[in-house]
Structures are given as C-alpha cells and as structure tokens.
C-alpha cells in the first residue's frame, strides 16, 4: 500500500493553473502579518471606545453572599458595572453542548477565576481600579477536586438540578458524561494472554497557550443590535450562544472574525464575547476587552487532566489478546466540550492496534477545578500517552523489539475499531513506524566541539548545568490515532459562497466562508482550491463573518476537509454555471461545447483534450456567477451508551514519532535532540503548510512531555502558575529539529483524498519523548509532564 | 501614580529623600511586570534611565566598579575576564531582550532569592554602593545585603549606585537549574569563585533559601582540604571524596521550600550536583586546562 | 503625563499617558501602531520586541515615561529601517513614513503575496519559508532576527536559537523560523557576494 496515491477526484481540473492544490503557495495574509498591519482582535480600536474588565472569583467554590458595586460605579470614568442581576434576557447561561455556564456568576462560584462582574471604563486602569472596589462576600463551600471527592456519598453537587441529556445515563450527577465500550469478551480473551501488563498513568493539565490573548471589540449598532469583532474558532457557534443572552435575534448580532493569534481548542468556548456585547449595549458605546496573560489562563478551558488505568494482554508470540481501560477526565466546573472529549478518549483508547476484545470506560467529572474542554488532540492525547507506555512495557516483557511489536499489532485498512466501525481508508500504521525508524539517527555528542561543550546543545541549555556530565541518550517511539471532524452523529457541515466575475479584464474568484483562520492556513488552501477548480489566478478571500452560513469549527483537524470540501463543491457548481453561460453564448461556435468534458484552466475554457474553447473573460463578460452551498461529509452515528458501538467517526488520522533525547540523569534535565515524525496526510494540498502543522503539533506534544502543566492546588483548587513565568512552553532552544516524512495515501471518501492533519502529531509526540526518557533513565515515569523531581527521585 | 524623571544622580537622591515610597525603575524587568499584572501600584515611579553614570563601569587595579544599570548583555560582552562568574550568571538571565535592559541594581533592589546575579555576587565578595541625600555613600558588604525574603539592607531613602567587585583572581563558575533550556527563572542556582591569592573559595546559592546565601561550611571545608592537600601549589586533581563532601555541605546550606518551580528536596539535591560540577570546572581551569563552554564563552 | 519620542524616524507625542503605561500600550493604543504584540506583558514571550535606541527590548517592560527623547523602531518601521541600514543610515533616524492610521476592520486579504512590496529581507524570508502561521509572534521575532543578522551575518543554528530564545512561538515548532533566518542570511550573503562588498 505504501507509496500508492489514489485520488478520487479529477485532478486535471486547473492543473495548469498556477497556485492550485498540491503547491506550496504562500499565505495570502503573510505580508500583512510581517509588516504588523494584520488586525488581530486585540488591535481593534474605535473612536470613543471603552475598555471592559472582568472581575473574577478569588475562590474556587463559594456562595456569593453579597456583591456591592456602588463604589465602583461611582468612580469617575466608569460607565457600567454589571453583575448577574443586570443580565437583560431570560437566558443567562451558555455552553457548547450543555448550557451550564452562567454569563456572570449567580449564587455561587464554581471555580477559581470565574467571572463575577464586568466593568466598562474610559481606560483599562480605571476599569481595573473600579473592579477592585466591588465588594464581594464569599462563603466557602466544600471543594470537589478529584474522583474521590466528586463521587463521595456526601459530595456537594457542582450543578444541582441537572436536566441535560447526559444526566439520565451517568452514575452520579458529578459525572458529566460516561461512555463505556464493550466489544468481544475481554475476560475470556485474557485467558489466552501469556503476559499481562497493567499501568496507571497521569496526564497533567495542559494549556493551549495561544499567544494572542482573548480579545475583541463590540460596537452597538443603530438597530439595537451589535457588531462583534472577535478571535474565535467558530463564529456561528459563538453567535448561537451570544444572541439569546443578549435577548437579540441572531441577525442583530453581526460577527466578523478578527485576526486570531492561535487557538488550539482554547477559543472553542466563549470568553469575552458576551461580556463585551453586554457592556456595549448597556453603555451605547464600543467596548474593547483584552485579557492579559494572567487572565487568559482563567479565560479559556484547558486540556483535561486525566488518570488512566490500562491492562493489556499478549500472547508470547506478540499478539495482543485484550485491553481493559478506565479513563477519568477532570472536566472542572463546567461541561464545555467534556462529553465529546469523553467520546474520543473512549473510542480511541485502544490506539491504532488490532484488539478484538476490549472493555473500556471513560468519564468526565464535574469538579471545582478549572473548566477543561477542547485542546488539539481532544481526548485522544491522554489515551495515546497511556497506551503507548503500555506497548513498550508489553514489548519489553515479551522480549520483543518495541517497534516490531507495534507493527505486529498495527491496524490497517479494514481493521474493526472497538466501536465496531471498520477503518475504511488507508491506515498505514506499520509503515509510518517503519519510516520514522528508518530515518538516520542524529550524531552522538553534538555538543562537543574543539572549543569545549556548547551548553546550548545540552540539557539545561544556557543555564550552564552540564558540560556533558551525567548525560545519557535515549530513543523512544510512539504512534497514535486521531479522528477527523465532528463525530457521534453531529451534523458537521460547512458553507461556502463562491463568486466569479471579471474584474479589470481578468477573471476573479471570491471565496466567502465563515471559517476561522487561526493560523492553520485555511485561507491559503481555499485560494488554491478555487484556482484548481475555476482555473483563475486571482482569488480573493472574503473576511470570515456571519453574513454567510456556518463553516463549523476550526478544530478536530476538520477545516481543510469540511470547509475545503465546501469550497470545492461550491466552485464545482460555479464552474457548471460558467460552462452553461459559455454553452449559451458560444455553444454554436464549436461542437466540443456540447460533446466534450470541459475544464477551466489558466483563465480559459478547455476540453479534456486540451483544446481551448474560449477565454473566461469572454464567457463571463459582465455576468457574475455566485452561489452559497452547504457541504457535509458522510454522516456518523452516536455511540451506544452501554456498548459504545456505532460508526461514530468520519475519518482517522495517523502519525508516528521517534524521539531522541539526552537526559542529565543527575539533575533530571532533558534536552530533546530530535523529534522525527511520519504522518499520512492523504493528499498534501499545501506541502509547506502541512509540514508546518506537523512541526507545530509535535512541539506542543513535546511541551506537555517535559514542562507544561497548570498546577492546581488540591487543597484550594486554585491555579498556582497562571503566567508565562511559571507555565512554561518550549522556546526555540527546547525544540529540536523535526524531520517530517509525509505519506500521501488518499482517502477515497474525502475531497482530493485528503486527511485532516492538525492533531495527530500532537498525540504521539508526548509518548515518544517519554519513551526516550525512560530509555535513557530506566525509570517507569507514569506521569506527564516529567519533572526533574521524577528523574532524580526528589 | 507619579512619574519622577531625575536628570542626574543628585536629583534622583533628592527625589528618593522626598518620596521614600518611590519605586526606582531602571530596566523595568521586575517593576513593569508587577504593574502590568496589577500586583503593585506605587505612588511614585523613579526613573533612573537618564542617569548615564549608572550605565558605566570602571575597571580598576583590584576591583571593578559596575554601575547599577549596566545591562547584563554588557557584562557578558565586556567583563568576562574581570568578572567571569557574574558574566556567566548574566548569560542565564531570562532572554536577550531582558538582558539588554536589566542590570545588577535591579536584582539587588528586588532581592528576590531567585535573582540570577546573587550567587555570583556572593561568590565574588563584592560591596554594594548605596547612597542617600542625607547620609551620603555607604558601602554594604554583600554578605550583609540580603536580610529577608525580598528584603535588603537598604534604607527607604537610599538608591543603589554601583557594585564594587574584586577582579577575579581565579576561575569562577555559575550554574542554574531551570525546567526550560532558556528564558527560565531559577529553580536553584550555584556560584563558585576560587580565590587563589587568598587561598579561599567563596560560594553563592540562589533560590534555595529565603535569601541568597553562601555555603560557608562548604567553603571552609574546601579551603582547608585544598590547603592541607597542597592543591593550590600542585594543582593536582581534587579527590572525589573532597568534591563529594563539598557538595554535601553545599546542599546542607540550603533551606528551601516546595513551590511550583520545584521541591525542596530537589533543590537541595541539585545544589549539591551543581556544587560538585562547578568545582570540577573551576579546578580544571585553575590547573590550566581550558574548560570553557562555547555557549558561555562565545561573547568573550 | 506627556511623552515625546521618535518612532520609526517620526517624532511622536503622546498625551494623557497614565504613569503606569508601558511603551507597548502607548505604541498600540495611542500611536496606532499595534504591530508590536501583547502576548504576555511580562517579558516572557518577546512578541512586543522593539528596538530602543537600537537595542532589542520588550516594550511591555519599558515604562512609557522612560522613552522620553528616545528612538524606537517597531515592526511597522522595520522595512524602512533595513533599507536605510543597507543604504548606510542604520540609526533609524533618517526619516520614515508614519504607518497608516489606526485600523480595526478585518480587511479582505489580498490573494497575491510579497512581490515588490518593499519588505525587508527578513520579512520576505519569513513569508517564503512558511515561518508565519497565526503570526502573533512574528513581529517580535522579526525585530529580534533582524538585529541578529545585523550583528552576525552568518549565524550558526545555535546562534539563531540563542538569539531567538526570548521569543515564544506556539504554532510553528520553530523549524520554519530557523529556515527563515537561514534563508535571509543566505540571501544576504549572496547579495553581498554579488556586490563585492
């Protein structure tokens, strides 16, 4: 199968048009971004605008006994101070799936940093000082911080009176959602096992740490509505949550995407959107809100920390017999994306392996910890960390090579998932492992030079901790499986509006979608698709807004697939209309208009034999062809709530990593020397962007392997490190070379055969680094991130 | 908040005398973080950027007089021979941008145990030149400078003008543990200076006690061991048992806490490792073996 | 208070500045120069890096009052700054166009890239190498990388990593940023070789 590329769609379309799919065309927003002109959501400015500020809870679980805003409101320069009581509509809660999150705290606060009041003033400092004058009396409530305290007999309920659609099947109201999967008979299959490996694993709370803070500008409009300029991952999802709380119909909330400084899942939930609109509508003035980094750590959900228990068995010849696992995700105070994360964690918990007999359970808890939700990898990351550690343990116990053992059990096209769903497109798991293993290893002791040791290439880096002392090299492998697109029966569609016309003597296509460009390069790809399908050079990407239908979320590795698919579909329909115009105007000039397969290439209408029939300019003249269409990938179904069976996923994505690390075993410091990745991308629409996504995802996986963790004090449920001083993400000195081997095995179900790519590399990166550190140190290391304490026994 | 912009040192002293609560700001790398994050709202900010004298240094016969605001970058680039320990420490400070702004005066004024300069300053045995309009100049030995968590020996009306550091008479080293390979606050740090002229060694420990401290027992032990073994004359290798004991005593000098950056136990452990390694490096260097580091030495 | 200083070669005056404001805030909110970015405001990310009297600093940690009478170059002035340097006037004080007025609307993106746009070599290299994704770290990285190449025309990878270790990027994994700096250095060398300088 390796090396074979199948493409289901006629790719000759536009192949002679420069800048089409498959080329590494450059970003259309590149120039604006390098000159500083690109307008990010925090760059917005409006005459007479006010600054909004959010007062957040200093407690994690407390009754709000009283709130006194009078002194704050009396401050000069303060225009508004709003609390829950000031909310204008009957709807006062929002949420992605379960509307359990109050716009402002009501009655009690459920986590540290929950918004309690909002202030608008003429200067950010005025707003901050006013907020400091709001008097809040809290009465402490008992804390729920983990599974034991959540499910204890006398456990306080985080949400009383739940009436969401999960309450009927969860064993306790402090469980958001539970998804078991039972397939085959794990207990029976266990009897065939010659070796059994059991492990408990802990995954720390990771932050998306996008660099552009939550921010935006709300401008009241004359019709009583509001214009909102904001950085988000999904305009229409925001809109659906914002409009009801403002008491406005959706058409009166007009949203435009501003520049987005990264997202990684952290912008899937509402942050400042509703607050800014409330203040703008209340004051009648534009209101800008920009979080600082401290606030940003409270302003968005994080990756679920998890505790995972796994048992695997294998026969002595290395075949997996069964797997049992239990995954406990801490969802924190509000549901956010927890139910979907549970579905992913559960359905992908077996990894990219053939295991017929499984017994799986995943739950997400409600606790008083920070709310957790979407982050790149979405439930699959935590599971991959655990099952890949198990694979190494099994291989070791069997005395088999760790890569060979994985290859022996690797899934392939046709393998049945634990959910009963067949994997019906290429699944080159063994091949990806082969490829990363085949890459040349980086030379040993690269830090040595004639001038001595270059500390920049050693563990500890510039801090000058070792000149080679205590340094041991290790190599580790991992592979993972991620779903692409929204799963479990979700109506996952995108809309594209495409227009074609002649401007200044040249055919021009305009692509308008609501897709959030968060850095991934969707805008680049849309232009490429339009060039390929419409044979034009000039493509204008219209700003994303809610004047066009939903494009779904920029998450789940889905945008190139789904909105890309929608753009392709709309372009094809536009092309048909253009050809109709051509037939109408010129059909009599040449018989091929009626008989041949016609294509648009290089600004011309040509036959499939390559004969030019007309210039697009002459075909279109003054006519404008424009249409807006929704496009769906094939449907999925919900998982059975008892057995977890169901064709719940759209597509799977696979990546494998090999990590080479050097560990200062005495100080417990790690330098990742190289992190090689092989990934199947189906079809690389833009190879440069594909590699960029893989390298970026890999680095986020590296971060949570060795440094990234939001530390919550178990005694107070308060966040202890909400800053870039103490929440560390990798610098360029922490990030190794990342050689990437891209495989293109087309998925016949997907546009151009492409495969969603953004998340898979984040999965296997972490366990590969952990495996390499284990290899260097001989330690078991069941928790990520690895801290120096874990490596030194201190 | 008022922003005071003295044009000269005398004006700065007068302003500080008039407004003892004024917070001096030079590189701004501590003060501005606190203001940006709303942790601090001083009544007065006293800007020292316009006082050129603070950005200068003089290399004398025995000492270097280092202006309080000389950026770490300058120290790394220009004073590596005279002040090798401080130059190495300077190289570990935060990021290039921060090293371009921050200076030793800020570390001393803030007196955080995590300040990167402290272990090197302690190991060098420097004096801090502080001055007030009323009482004039006062030289505070570094050993008496740190008096508590983020507290120093200065009076409210005093400003730091310079640090007087003995020119290195032997090898010096500095090592710092952080959980990232650049731009990281110390989990703990260790500075070591060999002083062959006086046949003494001095140390400094950062982030492993309420204040920066010296490992005095370790110093005394090592000096005695070197003396007894005739090492200063012979330059022969230090026996592993001596290095081990030195490391243990350095660990013992720590009085650390558990915090988000590291456990107390790890800090003690790491200080011991750094003590042993820096001793190895300095002693190799003393013996005449070039044992520099490219990353650290590139600006030499 | 009032602050007078030079930005990208043009005299600027900011009025009613609150004493606790940073240079970054003044640039972004008072002078309509939002190119320098506000990612952390604690000197831990480098996205606000500007040249202050030629020296790369985090503008979030410079108090507005401290820049009185001084010269600042931001990403908005980087192309002109680089051009003047190439022409032998590297101080940045030879006069630059003030950047466009404050903007708040998302503009339709142009489908063409780069060519003949008057970018500095490092800016062009970032685009060409794919070093820009979300782009939020880009302005700070450009200022830092430009200064590196000014000091060191052919840096080693370790030199690049050290010089850029104060600039966080969350999207790219840094590989393409390294590529961009290497590319700019290589192009600079090729140009120098060509002109015999």
DSSP A297-342: HHHS-EEPPEEEEEEEEE-TTS-EEEEEEEEEEE-TTS-TTHHHHH
Helix crossing, B264-286 with B240-252: angle to 10°? 140
Helix (H) or strand (E) holding B241: helix B240-252
CB atoms within 10 A of CB A714: 12
Pairing of strands A287-290, A302-303: unpaired
Give the pLDDT score at A2. Answer: 35
Domain A41-141+217-260+267-292 and domain A436-487+650-792 have a common topology: no
| Statement: residue A651 has pLDDT above 50 | yes
Which residues from chain B sit within 8 angstroms of residue C56, using beta carbons?
A: 96-97, 100
DSSP chain C: --EEEEETTEEEEE-S--TT-BHHHIIIIISS-TTS--S-SSSSS-TTEEEETTEEEEGGGSBGGGGTT-EEE-GGGHHHHHHHHHTT-TTS-S--PPPPPP--SPPPBPSS-STTS---HHHHHHHHHT--SS-SSHHHHHHHHHHHHHH-SS--HHHHHHHTTT---SSS-SHHHHHHHHHHHHHHHHHHHHHT-
| Statement: residue A7 has pLDDT above 50 | no
C40: closest chain A residue by CA: A293
CB A634 within 8 A of CB A485: no
> pLDDT category, B289, cuts 50, 70, 90?
low
Question: By C-alpha distance, which of A671, A770, A167 is closest to A457?
Answer: A671
Mean pLDDT of B29-57: 96
| Statement: residue A418 has pLDDT above 60 | yes
Mean pLDDT of A42-59: 97
Tell me the residue range of the domain where B255 lies: 172-291
* Interatomic CA distance for residues B231 and B243, integer angstroms: 13
CATH architecture under which domain A41-141+217-260+267-292 falls: Alpha-Beta Complex (3.90)
Q: Show Cβ contacts of residue B20 under 8 Å, excluding neighbours closer than 6 positions.
A: B156, B157
Which residues from chain B sit within 8 angstroms of residue A128, using beta carbons?
A: 38
B133: contact with C, CB 8 A cutoff? no
DSSP type of residue A701: H
| Statement: residue C111 has pLDDT above 90 | no
DSSP A725-766: TTS----TTT--B--EEEE----TTSGGG----SSHHHHHHH
* Interatomic CA distance for residues C157 and C137, integer angstroms: 19
A292: contact with B, CB 8 A cutoff? yes
B182 to A731: CB separation less than 8 angstroms, yes or no: yes
Handedness of CA A126, A128, A132, A134 (dihedral sign): positive
- Residue B280: CATH number of its domain: 3.30.390.50
Which residues from chain B sit within 8 angstroms of residue A726, using beta carbons?
A: 185, 260-261
C119: contact with A, CB 8 A cutoff? yes
The whole-chain average pLDDT of chain A stands at: 96
* Nearest beta carbon to residue C57 from set B33, B36, B100: B100
A129: closest chain B residue by CA: B38
* Nearest beta carbon to residue C166 from set B37, B95, B294: B95
Which residues from chain C sit within 8 angstroms of residue B34, using beta carbons?
A: none
A453 to B294: CB separation less than 8 angstroms, yes or no: yes
Helix (H) or strand (E) holding A62: strand A62-68
Mean pLDDT of A435-445: 97
Residue B33 within any structural domain of the chain: no
Give the pLDDT score at C89. Answer: 63
For residue range A743-759, list pLDDT tens digits in order: 999 999 999 999 999 99
* Interatomic CA distance for residues A226 and A263, integer angstroms: 24
For residue range A456-496, list pLDDT tens digits in order: 999 999 999 999 999 999 999 999 999 999 999 999 999 99
In terms of residues, how long is chain A?
Answer: 794
CB atoms within 10 A of CB A443: 8
* Interatomic CA distance for residues B207 and B223, integer angstroms: 24
| Secondary-structure percent of chain A, ordered helix, strand, coil, rounded to 5 | 25, 25, 45
A456: contact with B, CB 8 A cutoff? yes
* Interatomic CA distance for residues B266 and A790, integer angstroms: 10
Could you give the dihedral angle defined by the CA atoms of residues A189, A190, A193 and A195, in that order, rounded to the nearest 10 degrees?
150
Interface of B with A in 246-265 (CB under 8 A): 260-263, 265
Give the pLDDT score at A451. Answer: 83
Domain-wise residue ranges, chain A: 30-38+493-632, 41-141+217-260+267-292, 436-487+650-792
| Statement: residue B243 has pLDDT above 80 | yes
Residue B222 within any structural domain of the chain: yes
* Interatomic CA distance for residues A310 and A327, integer angstroms: 8
Mean pLDDT of A193-208: 98
Which residues from chain A sit within 8 angstroms of residue C29, using beta carbons?
A: 45
B163: contact with A, CB 8 A cutoff? no
C176 to A689: CB separation less than 8 angstroms, yes or no: no
Mean pLDDT of A334-341: 98
> pLDDT category, B288, cuts 50, 70, 90?
confident
Residue B263 within any structural domain of the chain: yes
| Statement: residue C114 has pLDDT above 70 | no
Place of tokens 């904001």: A230
Decide: helix, strand or coil at residue B159: strand
Cα of A335 to nearest chain B Cα, Å: 27
Give domain A436-487+650-792's CATH number out of 3.30.70.1230, 3.30.300.30, 3.40.50.300, 3.30.365.10.
3.30.365.10
A467 to B296: CB separation less than 8 angstroms, yes or no: no
CB atoms within 10 A of CB C16: 9
For residue range A531-540, list pLDDT tens digits in order: 999 999 999 9
Mean pLDDT of B172-191: 97
Which residues from chain B sit within 8 angstroms of residue C65, using beta carbons?
A: 3, 5, 45, 47
| Statement: residue B292 has pLDDT above 50 | no
Give the pLDDT score at A1. Answer: 34
In terms of residues, how long is chain B?
Answer: 300
Ramachandran sector of residue A704 (left: φ over 0; alpha: ψ -120 to 50; beta: rest): alpha
Give the pLDDT score at A13. Answer: 34
Mean pLDDT of A705-734: 98
Q: Which residues sit opposite A216 in a β-bridge?
A: A230, A289
For residue range B207-236, list pLDDT tens digits in order: 999 999 999 999 999 999 999 999 999 999
Residue B179 within any structural domain of the chain: yes
Which residues from chain A sit within 8 angstroms of residue C132, using beta carbons?
A: 27, 29-30, 33-34
B181 to A726: CB separation less than 8 angstroms, yes or no: no
* Nearest beta carbon to residue A543 from set C108, C110, C136: C108
**In the 3-class helix/strand/coil scheme, how is A498-524 assigned residue by residue?**
EEEEEECCEEEEEEECCECCCCCCHHH
* Nearest beta carbon to residue A792 from set B91, B266, B277: B266
- How many B×C Cβ pairs under 8 Å? 97
DSSP type of residue A668: T
For residue range A237-288, list pLDDT tens digits in order: 999 999 999 999 999 999 999 999 999 999 999 999 999 999 999 999 999 9
| Statement: residue B84 has pLDDT above 60 | yes
Cα of B241 to nearest chain C Cα, Å: 36
A451 to B297: CB separation less than 8 angstroms, yes or no: yes
Residue B109 within any structural domain of the chain: no
Domain-wise residue ranges, chain C: 3-77, 121-195
DSSP A141-207: -----SHHHHHSTTPPPSSTT--STTTTT-SSTTEEEEEEEEES-HHHHHTT-SEEEEEEEEE-B--
* Interatomic CA distance for residues C170 and A701, integer angstroms: 11
For residue range A551-592, list pLDDT tens digits in order: 999 999 999 999 999 999 999 999 999 999 999 999 999 999
A523 to C134: CB separation less than 8 angstroms, yes or no: no
CATH 1.10.150.120 is the classification of domain C121-195: yes
Total structural domains in chain B?
A: 1
Decide: helix, strand or coil at residue A557: coil
| Statement: residue C112 has pLDDT above 80 | no
Cα of A200 to nearest chain C Cα, Å: 30
Token digits for B286?
Answer: 């003393």
Query: What fold is seen in the domain C3-77?
Result: Ubiquitin-like (UB roll) (3.10.20)
Residue B19 within any structural domain of the chain: no
Mean pLDDT of B117-145: 98
Give the pLDDT score at C192. Answer: 76
Q: What order of strands is seen across the sheet that includes strand A669-680?
A: A471-484, A651-664, A669-680, A740-743
Q: What whole-number percentage of chain A has pLDDT above 70?
A: 98
Q: Show Cβ contacts of residue B4 under 8 Å, excluding neighbours closer than 6 positions.
A: B15, B19, B22, B44, B45, B46, B47
Mean pLDDT of A145-166: 97
Give domain A30-38+493-632's CATH number out of 3.40.50.620, 3.20.20.70, 3.90.1300.10, 3.30.365.10.
3.30.365.10
Cα of B119 to nearest chain A Cα, Å: 13
C104: contact with B, CB 8 A cutoff? no
Burial class (CB in 10 A: 0-12, 13-18, 19+), C106: buried
Which residues from chain A sit within 8 angstroms of residue C76, using beta carbons?
A: 35-37
Q: Which residues sit opposite A118 in a β-bridge?
A: A54, A82
Interface of B with C in 90-129 (CB under 8 A): 94-98, 100-101
| Statement: residue B299 has pLDDT above 50 | no
């Amino acid at each position: 199968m390796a090396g074979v590329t199948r493409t289901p769609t006629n790719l000759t379309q536009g192949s002679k048009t420069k800048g089409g799919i498959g080329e590494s065309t450059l970003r259309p927003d590149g120039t604006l971004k390098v000159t500083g002109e690109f307008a990010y959501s925090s760059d917005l400015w409006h005459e007479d605008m006010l600054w909004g500020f959010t007062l957040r809870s200093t407690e994690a679980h407390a009754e709000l006994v009283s709130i006194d805003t009078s002194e704050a409101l009396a401050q000069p320069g303060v225009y508004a101070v709003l609390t829950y009581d000031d909310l204008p509509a009957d709807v006062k809660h929002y949420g992605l799936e379960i509307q359990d999150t109050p716009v402002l705290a009501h009655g009690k606060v459920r986590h540290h940093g929950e918004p309690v009041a909002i202030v608008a003033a003429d200067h950010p400092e005025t707003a901050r000082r006013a907020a400091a004058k709001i008097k809040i009396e809290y009465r402490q409530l008992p804390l729920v911080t983990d599974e034991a305290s959540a499910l204890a007999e006398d456990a306080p309920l985080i949400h009383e009176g739940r009436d969401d659609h999960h309450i009927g099947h969860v064993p306790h109201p402090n469980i958001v959602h539970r998804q078991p999967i039972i397939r085959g008979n794990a207990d029976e299959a266990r009897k065939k096992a010659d070796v059994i490996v059991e492990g408990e694993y802990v995954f720390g709370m990771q932050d998306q740490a996008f660099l552009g803070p939550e921010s935006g500008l709300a401008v009241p409009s004359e019709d009583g509505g509001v214009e909102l300029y904001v950085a988000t991952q999904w305009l229409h999802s925001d809109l659906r949550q914002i409009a009801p709380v403002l008491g406005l119909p959706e058409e009166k909330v007009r949203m435009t995407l501003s520049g987005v400084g990264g997202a990684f899942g952290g912008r899937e939930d509402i942050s400042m959107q509703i607050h800014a609109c409330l203040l703008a509508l209340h004051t009648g003035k534009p209101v800008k809100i920009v979080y600082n980094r401290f606030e940003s750590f409270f302003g968005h959900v994080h990756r679920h920390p998890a505790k995972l228990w796994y048992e695997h068995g294998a026969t002595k010849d290395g075949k997996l017999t069964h797997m049992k696992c239990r995954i406990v995700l801490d969802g924190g105070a509000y549901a956010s994306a927890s139910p979907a994360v549970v579905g992913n964690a559960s359905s992908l918990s077996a990894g990219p392996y053939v295991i017929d007999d499984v017994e799986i359970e995943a739950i997400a808890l409600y606790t008083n910890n920070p709310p957790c939700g979407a982050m790149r990898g979405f439930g699959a990351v935590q599971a991959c960390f655990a099952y890949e550690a198990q694979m190494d343990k099994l291989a070791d116990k069997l005395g088999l090579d760790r890569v060979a053992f994985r290859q022996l059990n690797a899934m392939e096209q046709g393998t049945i998932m634990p959910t009963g769903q067949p994997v019906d497109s290429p699944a080159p798991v063994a091949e990806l492992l082969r490829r990363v293993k085949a890459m040349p290893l980086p030379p040993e002791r690269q830090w040595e030079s004639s001038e001595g040791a270059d500390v920049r290439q050693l563990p500890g880096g510039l801090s000058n901790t070792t000149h080679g002392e205590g340094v041991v090299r290790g190599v580790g492998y991992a592979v993972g499986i991620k779903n692409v697109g929204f799963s479990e029966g979700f109506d996952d569609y995108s809309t594209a509006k495409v227009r074609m016309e002649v401007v200044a003597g040249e055919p021009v296509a305009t692509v308008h979608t609501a897709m959030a460009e968060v850095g991934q390069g969707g805008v680049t790809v849309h232009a490429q698709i339009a060039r390929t399908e419409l044979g034009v050079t000039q493509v204008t990407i219209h700003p994303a807004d809610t004047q066009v239908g939903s494009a779904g979320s920029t998450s789940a590795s889905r945008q190139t697939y789904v909105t890309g698919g929608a753009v392709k579909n709309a372009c094809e329909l536009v092309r048909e209309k253009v050809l109709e115009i051509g037939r109408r105007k010129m059909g009599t000039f040449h018989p091929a208009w009626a008989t041949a397969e016609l294509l648009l290439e290089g600004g011309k209408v040509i036959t499939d034999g390559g004969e030019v029939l007309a210039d697009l300019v002459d075909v279109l003249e003054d006519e404008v062809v424009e249409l807006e269409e929704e496009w769906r990938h094939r449907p999925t179904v919900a998982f059975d709530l008892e057995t977890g069976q169901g064709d719940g996923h759209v597509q799977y994505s696979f990546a494998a990593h090999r990590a080479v690390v050097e560990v200062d075993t005495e100080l417990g410091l790690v330098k990742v020397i190289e992190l090689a990745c092989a990934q199947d991308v189906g079809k690389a629409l833009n190879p440069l962007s594909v590699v960029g996504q893989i390298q970026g995802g890999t680095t986020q996986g590296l971060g949570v392997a060795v440094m990234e963790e939001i530390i919550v004090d178990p005694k107070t449920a308060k966040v202890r490190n909400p800053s870039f001083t103490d929440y560390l993400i990798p610098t360029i000195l922490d990030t190794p070379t990342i050689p990437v081997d891209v495989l293109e095995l087309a998925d016949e179900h997907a546009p151009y055969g492409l495969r969603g790519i953004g998340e898979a590399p984040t999965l296997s990166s972490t366990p590969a680094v952990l495996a390499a550190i284990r290899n260097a140190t001989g330690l078991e290391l069941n928790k990520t991130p690895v801290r120096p304490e874990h490596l030194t026994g201190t | 908040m008022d922003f005071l912009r003295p044009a000269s040192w005398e004006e700065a002293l007068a302003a500080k005398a008039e407004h003892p609560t004024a917070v001096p700001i030079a590189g701004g790398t501590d003060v501005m973080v606190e203001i940006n994050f709303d942790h601090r709202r001083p009544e007065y900010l006293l800007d020292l950027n316009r006082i050129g004298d603070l950005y200068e240094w003089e290399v004398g016969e025995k000492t270097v007089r280092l202006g309080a605001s000389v950026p770490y970058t300058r120290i790394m680039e220009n004073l590596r021979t005279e002040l090798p320990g401080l130059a190495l420490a300077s190289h570990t400070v935060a990021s290039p941008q921060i090293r371009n702004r921050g200076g030793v005066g800020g570390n001393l004024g803030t007196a955080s145990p995590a300040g990167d300069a402290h272990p090197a300053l302690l190991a060098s045995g420097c004096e801090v030149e502080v001055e007030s309009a009323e009482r004039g100049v006062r030289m505070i030995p570094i050993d008496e400078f740190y008096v508590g968590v983020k507290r120093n020996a200065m009076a409210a009306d005093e400003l730091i003008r310079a640090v007087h550091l003995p020119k290195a008479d032997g090898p010096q080293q500095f090592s710092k543990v952080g959980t990232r390979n650049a731009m990281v606050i110390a989990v703990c740090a260790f500075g070591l200076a060999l002083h062959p002229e006086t046949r003494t060694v001095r140390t400094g420990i950062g982030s492993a006690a309420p204040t920066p401290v010296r490992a005095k027992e370790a110093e005394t032990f090592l000096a005695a061991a070197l003396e007894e073994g005739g090492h200063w004359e012979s330059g022969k290798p230090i026996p592993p048992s001596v290095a081990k004991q030195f490391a243990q005593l350095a660990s013992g000098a720590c009085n650390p806490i558990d915090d988000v950056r590291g456990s107390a136990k790890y800090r003690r452990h790491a200080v011991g490792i750094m003590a042993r390694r820096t001793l190895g490096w300095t002693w190799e260097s003393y013996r005449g073996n070039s044992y520099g580091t490219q990353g650290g030495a590139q600006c030499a | 208070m009032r602050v007078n200083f030079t930005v990208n070669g043009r005299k600027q005056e900011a009025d009613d500045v609150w004493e606790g404001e940073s240079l970054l805030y003044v640039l972004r909110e008072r002078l309509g120069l939002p190119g320098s970015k506000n990612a952390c405001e604690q000197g831990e990310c480098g996205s606000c890096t500007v040249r202050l009297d030629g020296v790369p600093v985090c503008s979030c940690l410079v108090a507005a009052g401290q820049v009185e009478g001084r010269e600042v170059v931001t990403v908005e002035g980087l192309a002109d700054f680089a051009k003047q340097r190439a022409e032998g006037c590297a101080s940045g004080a030879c006069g630059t166009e003030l950047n466009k007025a404050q903007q708040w609307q998302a503009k339709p993106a142009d489908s063409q890239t780069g060519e003949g746009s008057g970018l500095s070599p490092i800016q062009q290299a970032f685009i060409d190498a794919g070093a820009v994704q979300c782009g939020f770290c880009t302005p700070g990285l450009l200022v830092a990388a430009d200064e590196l190449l000014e000091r060191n025309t052919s840096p080693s990878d370790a030199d690049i990593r050290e010089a850029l270790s104060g600039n966080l990027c969350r999207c790219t994994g840094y590989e393409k940023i390294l590529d961009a700096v290497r590319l700019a250095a290589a192009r600079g060398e090729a140009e120098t070789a060509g002109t015999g300088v």
